[in-house]
Amino acid sequence: MANVTVIGAQWGDEGKGKIVDWLASRADAVVRFQGGHNAGHTLVVDGTTYKLSLLPSGIVRGTFSIIGNGVVLDPWHLKEEIAKLEGQGVAISADNFAIADNCPLILPIHRELDGLREAAAGAGKIGTTGRGIGPAYEDKVGRRAIRVCDLAHLDDLGSQLDRLCAHHDALRAGFGQPAVDREALLEELRTIAPFVLQYAQPVWKRLNAVKKAGARILFEGAQGVLLDVDHGTYPFVTSSNTVSGTAASGSGLGPSATGFVLGIVKAYTTRVGSGPFPTELEDEVGQRLGERGHEFGTVTGRKRRCGWFDAVLVRQSCAISGVTGIALTKLDVLDGFDKVRVCTGYRLNGKVLDYLPSHAADQAAVEPIYEEMDGWSGTTAGARSWADLPAQAIKYIQRVQELIETPVALVSTSPEREDTILVRDPFED
């Protein structure tokens, strides 16, 4: 029995929530291993919609769910999200939910700094969600973060607060803001500490026990490979590594535990916020894709930019993340198009490229090379077998997997959990 690592293979918003929910019912543990509450996952279960941004998607099914050490945790948001889910009838306790005790915290000063920087950036804005994710990661690598385990030792936080405030006070002064109110910050931490600590434990130990028992672990990634801080469209990226290899370091398990890497891929392309987007359509076709796909960010509500499927980017993502197979989502959004297009390469300064270059200027300048295919008039919505799909839709799927050099393992044909065509079972691979 293999473990499964789920990642987005585009710019996020590929439909990971549904796929993780579908897999979580067969897993023994689900682990978030990077990112923060800037990640939005929408689940539709028996007609009820659940919107998650920090909790692992498995929590709705009652699967033991873990926030790993690679995540940056906003404890106040966590409390709100848990309360909202409990209001929808989801039971959450220390019996089915745990937080890594070495997980770094997002503090109010991180949110403030995020907003100050973005407001001052002008044309240089990178489209951050303003939730403090980046500044929290900066403090983690700067060795001045306050972590979950520190909440049990707040009276001994003096030297850590000294380092933290020395850094933030200088930055805040540059924006004309007062120094950090240390006492107010400590009081906020004292108030939230009991809530967080009830879930805290050394999850690496728990996960290693699960692994040794031969149980199934599902690693849930956030955002997408094209937002990876190393491999994405830098600087228009997130502040963490979103590739599959992070599942090991962000959970406390070795790389051999990551198992089958399932890349979630939308049948077209979307992006939220700023940054290059070679196949973006700013016409009625792009508008149609957005309307049919209900393309608005789960976390921010921002309208997503839409375009044709970019096989160059997905092939690159699959190679970088060692993707074993893909789950193709939202195929039904393409129903009814007379013609559909797929990007197979780029032109840059007279040269043809089969990859996206690293420099932002080159990324912005590439021109897509398209291959056009016949669309299909029939519907794919709700299909649960190949026999339910129009012949041309099957040809489209086959061409996609040829171009990205990665096989299709699943096809999702609606937000509903059961509307899924299983080609290759990741847990049985």
Q: What is the pLDDT of residue 300?
A: 61
Q: What is the pLDDT of residue 41?
A: 75
> Among candidates 44, 16, 49, 43, which has minimal Cα distance to 328?
16
Distances (CA, A) of 228 to 5, 12, 193, 238: 16, 10, 31, 6
The CA-based dihedral angle spanning residues 107, 222, 5, 405, taken in that order and rounded to the nearest 10 degrees: -150
316: helix, coil or strand?
helix
DSSP assignment of 327-342 equals EEE-GGGGTT-SEEEE
- Cα gap 209→408, rounded to integer Å: 32
- Compute and round to an integer the Cα radius of gyration of the chain: 22
> Residue 70 half-sphere exposure, CB side, CA atoms within 13 Å?
25
Q: Is 338 labeled as catalytic in the residue annotation?
A: no
| Both tokens assigned to 191 | 């108030």
3-state helix, strand, coil split of the chain in percent (to 5) is: 40, 20, 40
- Cα gap 33→311, rounded to integer Å: 27
DSSP assignment of 362-391 equals HHHH-EEEEEEEE--SS--TT--SGGGS-H
| Both tokens assigned to 226 | 């094209």
Q: What is the pLDDT of residue 122?
A: 72
Helices (H), 175-310: 182-197, 203-212, 246-249, 284-292
- Cα gap 360→346, rounded to integer Å: 15
- Beta-bridge partner residues of 351: 348
Q: What is the pLDDT of residue 301?
A: 66
DSSP 155: G
Q: What is the pLDDT of residue 360?
A: 93
Cβ neighbours of residue 116 under 8 Å, at least 6 residues apart?
172, 175, 177
Judge whether 10 and 267 are in contact, CB under 8 Å: no
- Cα gap 81→75, rounded to integer Å: 10
- Cα gap 75→73, rounded to integer Å: 6
| Both tokens assigned to 362 | 């080159």
Q: What is the pLDDT of residue 298?
A: 58
Tell me, yes or no, if the pTM score tops 0.75.
yes
CA dihedral sign of residues 225, 231, 235, 239:
positive
| Both tokens assigned to 161 | 């607060």
Average pLDDT for runs of 10 along the chain of length 429: 90 88 90 88 80 90 94 97 95 96 97 89 70 95 97 94 96 96 96 98 94 93 95 94 96 92 97 92 93 76 89 98 96 95 97 96 96 95 93 97 97 87 89
Q: What is the pLDDT of residue 1?
A: 53
> Among candidates 332, 210, 321, which has minimal Cα distance to 266?
332
Judge whether 167 and 144 are in contact, CB under 8 Å: yes
DSSP 178: P
Q: Which one is catalytic: 21, 28, 37, 41?
A: 41
Q: Is 46 labeled as catalytic in the residue annotation?
A: no
Q: What is the pLDDT of residue 127?
A: 63
Q: Which one is catalytic: 13, 28, 101, 332?
A: 13
